[in-house]
Structure 1
Amino acid sequence: MDVACIPFKETGYFSRLICDYLDQKEDLKPFYNRFPQIENFQDQIKEKEANFPSRRRAILVDAVEEQYKGLQVSELTQENISLLGDTKTFTVVTGHQLNLYTGPLYFLYKIVSTINLTKKLKETFPDYNFVPIYWMATEDHDFDEINYFNFKGQKVQWNKEASGAVGALNTEGLEAVFQTFSAGLGNSTSAEHLKNLFQAAYLEHNTLTEATRFLANALFGEFGLVIVDGDDSNLKKELVPYAKQDIFENIPFDLVTTSINGLSKVSTDYKIQVNPREINYFYHKDGIRERIVGKDGNFEVSNTDIKFTKQELEKELEQFPERFSPNVIGRPLYQEIVLPNLCYIGGGGELAYWLELKAYFNALEVTFPMLLLRNSALIMTEKQNGKVEKLGLKIPDLFLKQNSFINKKIREISNIDIDFAPQKKHLEEQFEAMYKLAEETDKSFIGAVKAQEVKQKKGLDALEKRLLQAQKRKLRDHVIRMTDIQNALFPNRSLQERQLNFSEVYLEIGERLIPNLMESLDPLAGKFLILKD
């Protein structure tokens, strides 16, 4: 693939907070550890090496090997699992929900970014090993967020009554989804591969966790990806001391709240992604996952009759750690406790809430990972690229809001000049003389002069707008072709990666898709990428 790029801030699709982070704004530096540049990883390695108990490695390896039982594993993945036991091995992690058939296209970008960063690290620091990790969000209970994917402009949805952690959901009902999906795929070689992959993942496994692990392994196992499920009793035993500090001392509530206030002082434009609760754990048992709340010195599980005294809850935590599920505030800490991790790779929204957590990590003496914005990309097929070139469109212009995009292009191709900026400047110069005259004669006339200036500028704006509309009608066919290609590349006026499922691109590109992404996505590029097939 040919690769072009555009700064993230020029796309119009990334928040002020993330753009400031990428610019390494000075006021944001207290909220992260080290910026993800290759030369900064040396110190991150040393810090994590000194701060990660070696005994946790054996626990991690045993847990992952148990989770992989019955799954066909590539030699590279098996080697990486074994390497996790080595004190010279570190991880790079991305996490994602268990979206049906991977959900949005950016699922692939997250994992490719993660794998490619481990390769870069190995090249730079050959004395160490680096393992790419996909942390499955099996304990999330937001079924409505993950029960569909978009395909050819339609929502392919799994209609099912669901509660509790999504990873434990059985896969009943996905046969109907498969039939719907298959009907729109056609009979090409690529279509048959997509059908077989869906069938093997979802119709031959009992739970959503098993299906997602199979799918991610089928797509990325050959590149050494290791998939970790945090819903694991042995791993959660390591979380117990930290969970106690959350549940009984409310440490993250106070520290994260302070960090949120600090971020708000840096800029009022920063959107706060998540707010901490006094207790950031759910009770997770027998198909329920409900919040633990304190009440009058005791504890209750929301929407149930389950109650505990402090002593009873502490005993429950010690005996059954798997019944305690961290929320969005607690999960990052859990991940960094059980993994020898250096860097977390996520989207803008994820990094926004990670930036709230550093003081919390510091207080618990857990190394805060480097935070890397995942690769974002726009894939253009050969046919789409041909249309863009034929229309004489510039890549940055495609990211404009559609009305601005059309107006800018109409001005460029029109055989008359529909830019009244010179006239407006001339008008302002004329009114400067009138303001001076009013100032010297009667200052009360300044308001009248101002009103007249505003009126005449509005008149020029209206005339400019009418001329543009006339040219749009005259160039109607060109406008239609422009909007068609922009709508194809930005479905629903959104980034392609947030709307399309990988299957739609796979139909066009075929088995070259993932190898091409592996070759084209540079995790440290620091820019939005345009990939031309």
Structure 2
Amino acid sequence: MNVVSGSLKSGSALADDYIKRFSQVQHLYGADFNQTSSWEKRAEWLDETEQNRVSRDELFECLTQYNGKHNSHEAVHTSLELLKKPGTLAVVGGQQSGLFTGSLLVIYKAVTIIQSAKEAQEKLGRPVVPVFWIAGEDHDWDEVNHTYLMTPELKVSKIKMDAQPGPRSSVSQISVKSEQWRQALEKLGSILPDSEHKSDILHLLRQSTEESNNLSDAFAKLMGHLFGEHGLILLDSADPELRKLEMPLFETIIDRNDDLEKAYQASASRITSQGYSLQAEVAEDGANLFYIHEGNRFLLFKQNGYFADRKGVISFTKEEIKDCIRTHPERFSNNVLTRPLMQDTILPVLSSVLGQGEISYWALTKDAFEVLGMSMPILLPRMSFTLVEGTLQKYMDQFGISFQDVQYRLEDLRQTWLSQQDTQQIQPKFEQTKQAFEALYDPLIHELAQTQPGLTKLGETNKNKIMEQIAFLQRKSKEALEKRNDAGLRQWDRIGVSLFPLGKPQERVYNIFYYLNRFGISWINDLINISEHYSAEHRIIQL
């Protein structure tokens, strides 16, 4: 495999400036991830505030229990033992529990967490462990219930799992039946081409789903299988045992809710005043916590001295909600603005690995960290890749096009190439014919109008019919040209659908098992090895 740099169009102006022009947005964040001194200062701050976080012994027991069920690997146990010891730091990143791990960016986030933890450990000369935070508390089922693969016919095929009728609960609480798993696996198996690795892939997927009754558990088992040997610790934010450890911060969020709201509003104002758009909503009177009632997850707001949802289904006084937190912490969960605070209360977070959208909305939390006497961790942009298979690279070389050509002007170049195959220059002749016909016919219609005005409309209608017939023949000639060059056009199509499916970067669409089916499950280790050194720059991996 060969790795080269190649910029990828940004999805966020704020994140783009954070990565490339940090000095312009430093006041919206904290430490510069590119500076070694930032890492050293963060480590010192974590040492000084050790007593402010959850007990390491209690955290060890909680994470050991969870990983024992889904991620029981010796290297993970070693990471957990290290995390138990004061002084050990963590590189943390998270994602929703997508179907069959979801899109490639989830895999790249895990790789970034693992590699940056190794580099930080070497840089600081102290233990740093990788932690993956599964956002099982999220309730947006439509974001996680599907994944995409490319079919042999060069189509982007969606595998989707419909939800069972029931409450709008967190993903970790939505039950997935064996029949749903079977249907999803059958579709995936029908899409994946036959290969020497296919049976192993399907066996792994079948095994992970048979032992899981929800998406989050299956996701954890797959991530454990792929990354457990690298010591990646997993946690599910919806784990009831973890909720018990989060209880003190839930109470603090209620006590300091007005101050936190002002902090989020101030940050939002600062961001928009610089011309950036907000990546998360800062709702007026928002409590920035969810409450689960009869299986449904409700966002809480402050209304007339009460904490309640917008529909008036639930309502608490301040003391009532704090009492409920103490007795039923599993009923509460964070939103995007309080999750960063919770993460730093649970773990000694040296750095948080984030995608571009996350980097943008984390800017809203800087003041909130300070309100609670905390400090924003180092925000590390997730590593980004595009996988280019050997045959694909051969096609690109054959047509003389680059990755940037594919990204910005593929269709124009495809049409230019097709026109070059028209050696008789039929298409230009059609254009010349239409121009010549109009040049002869328009004066004739004008003369008819002088003779009898009523003939003008008839002349225009007649002209349009003739032009339609010429255009019809032109289309048929182009179809014949395309049919004659079908093999070449399929090569162009393969380039586009492989690198930018659905008009999006590959990493945001395709599933890793398409590639593992070709190269084997152990290819994950090759990916980790070739990305040995962290880089925020997008990289193209030529397979």
1:156 to 156, 159, 164: 159
Alignment map for 1:108-507 (pairs within 5 Å): 108-126=107-125, 128-152=126-150, 153-161=156-164, 162=166, 163-172=168-177, 173-248=180-255, 249-266=257-274, 268=275, 270-277=276-283, 278-303=286-311, 305-403=313-411, 405-406=413-414, 481-507=491-517
Tell me how far apart the structure 2 counterparts of residues 151 and 289 of structure 1 sit (CA, whole Å).
Answer: 31
8 Å contact kept, 2:71–2:234? no
Return the offset for 1:315. 1.1
Amino acid at match of 2:34: Q
Rate the CA distance shift 1:481–1:217 in 2: closer, same or farther, 3 A: closer
Aligned residue for 2:74? 75
Tell me how far apart the structure 2 counterparts of residues 177 and 524 of structure 1 sit (CA, whole Å).
Answer: 35
Aligned residue for 2:28? 31
Return the offset for 1:48. 1.5
Tell me how far apart the structure 1 counterparts of residues 420 and 23 of structure 2 sit (CA, whole Å).
Answer: 40
2:539 partner SS: strand
Tell me how far apart the structure 1 counterparts of residues 400 and 220 of structure 2 sit (CA, whole Å).
Answer: 44
TM-score in terms of structure 1 length: 0.82
8 Å contact kept, 1:2–1:531? yes
1:84 partner SS: helix
Tell me how far apart the structure 2 counterparts of residues 408 and 45 of structure 1 sit (CA, whole Å).
Answer: 56
Return the offset for 1:305. 3.6
Higher mean displacement: 96-105 or 398-407:
398-407
Aligned residue for 2:5? 5
1:379 partner SS: strand
Tell me how far apart the structure 1 counterparts of residues 535 and 67 of structure 2 sit (CA, whole Å).
Answer: 33
Tell me how far apart the structure 1 counterparts of residues 215 and 79 of structure 2 sit (CA, whole Å).
Answer: 24
Q: What per-residue deviation string (whole Å, max 9, x for no partner) do you get for residues 430-455 of structure 1?
A: xxxxxxxxxxxxxxxxxxxxxxxxxx
Aligned residue for 2:530? 520
8 Å contact kept, 2:289–2:300? yes
Higher mean displacement: 194-203 or 232-241:
232-241
Amino acid at match of 1:331: R
Tell me how far apart the structure 1 counterparts of residues 417 and 270 of structure 2 sit (CA, whole Å).
Answer: 43
Higher mean displacement: 335-344 or 197-206:
197-206
Unaligned runs of 5+ in 2: 151-155, 424-477
1:511 partner SS: coil
Return the offset for 1:93. 0.8
Q: What per-residue deviation string (whole Å, max 9, x for no partner) do you get for residues 174-231 of structure 1?
A: 2221222222234433211221121111122223332222111011101111001222
Tell me how far apart the structure 2 counterparts of residues 523 and 493 of structure 1 sit (CA, whole Å).
Answer: 29
Higher mean displacement: 229-238 or 331-340:
229-238
Q: What per-residue deviation string (whole Å, max 9, x for no partner) do you get for residues 401-458 of structure 1?
A: 434555898999999xxxxxxxxxxxxxxxxxxxxxxxxxxxxxxxxxxxxxxxxxxx
Tell me how far apart the structure 2 counterparts of residues 393 and 85 of structure 1 sit (CA, whole Å).
Answer: 52
Higher mean displacement: 370-379 or 53-62:
53-62
8 Å contact kept, 2:254–2:318? no
TM-score in terms of structure 2 length: 0.80
8 Å contact kept, 2:385–2:538? yes
Return the offset for 1:480. 6.5
Tell me how far apart the structure 2 counterparts of residues 208 and 93 of structure 1 sit (CA, whole Å).
Answer: 21
8 Å contact kept, 1:113–1:522? no
Q: What per-residue deviation string (whole Å, max 9, x for no partner) do you get for residues 444-495 of structure 1?
A: xxxxxxxxxxxxxxxxxxxxxxxxxx9xx89977677445423332111211
Return the offset for 1:302. 4.8
8 Å contact kept, 2:201–2:521? no
Tell me how far apart the structure 1 counterparts of residues 159 and 239 of structure 2 sit (CA, whole Å).
Answer: 31
Amino acid at match of 1:271: S
8 Å contact kept, 1:375–1:523? no
Return the offset for 1:148. 0.8
Amino acid at match of 2:40: Q
Rate the CA distance shift 1:58–1:481 in 2: closer, same or farther, 3 A: same
Tell me how far apart the structure 1 counterparts of residues 143 and 515 of structure 2 sit (CA, whole Å).
Answer: 22
2:68 partner SS: coil
2:201 partner SS: helix
Rate the CA distance shift 1:389–1:28 in 2: closer, same or farther, 3 A: same
8 Å contact kept, 1:257–1:275? no
Amino acid at match of 1:61: F
Rate the CA distance shift 1:343–1:414 in 2: closer, same or farther, 3 A: farther
2:159 partner SS: strand
Return the offset for 1:71. 4.2
Amino acid at match of 1:170: S
Amino acid at match of 1:73: S
2:136 partner SS: coil
Amino acid at match of 1:164: S
Tell me how far apart the structure 2 counterparts of residues 72 and 112 of structure 1 sit (CA, whole Å).
Answer: 16
8 Å contact kept, 1:3–1:531? yes
Return the offset for 1:274. 0.4
Return the offset for 1:324. 1.2
Aligned length: 471
Q: What per-residue deviation string (whole Å, max 9, x for no partner) do you get for residues 380-415 of structure 1?
A: 111111212222222332221434555898999999
Tell me how far apart the structure 1 counterparts of residues 233 and 243 of structure 2 sit (CA, whole Å).
Answer: 19
> Percent of counterpart pairs with the same letter?
25
Amino acid at match of 1:368: M
Tell me how far apart the structure 1 counterparts of residues 419 and 252 of structure 2 sit (CA, whole Å).
Answer: 62
Aligned residue for 1:532? 542
Tell me how far apart the structure 1 counterparts of residues 415 and 194 of structure 2 sit (CA, whole Å).
Answer: 42
8 Å contact kept, 1:61–1:82? yes
Aligned residue for 1:45? 43
Return the offset for 1:6. 2.0
8 Å contact kept, 1:59–1:234? no
8 Å contact kept, 1:358–1:368? yes
Return the offset for 1:156. 0.7
8 Å contact kept, 1:374–1:523? no
Unaligned runs of 5+ in 1: 416-469
Tell me how far apart the structure 1 counterparts of residues 310 and 78 of structure 2 sit (CA, whole Å).
Answer: 43
Tell me how far apart the structure 2 counterparts of residues 408 and 32 of structure 1 sit (CA, whole Å).
Answer: 46
8 Å contact kept, 1:104–1:499? yes
Tell me how far apart the structure 2 counterparts of residues 233 and 480 of structure 1 sit (CA, whole Å).
Answer: 51
Rate the CA distance shift 1:180–1:49 in 2: closer, same or farther, 3 A: same
Tell me how far apart the structure 2 counterparts of residues 328 and 273 of structure 1 sit (CA, whole Å).
Answer: 10
8 Å contact kept, 1:238–1:337? no
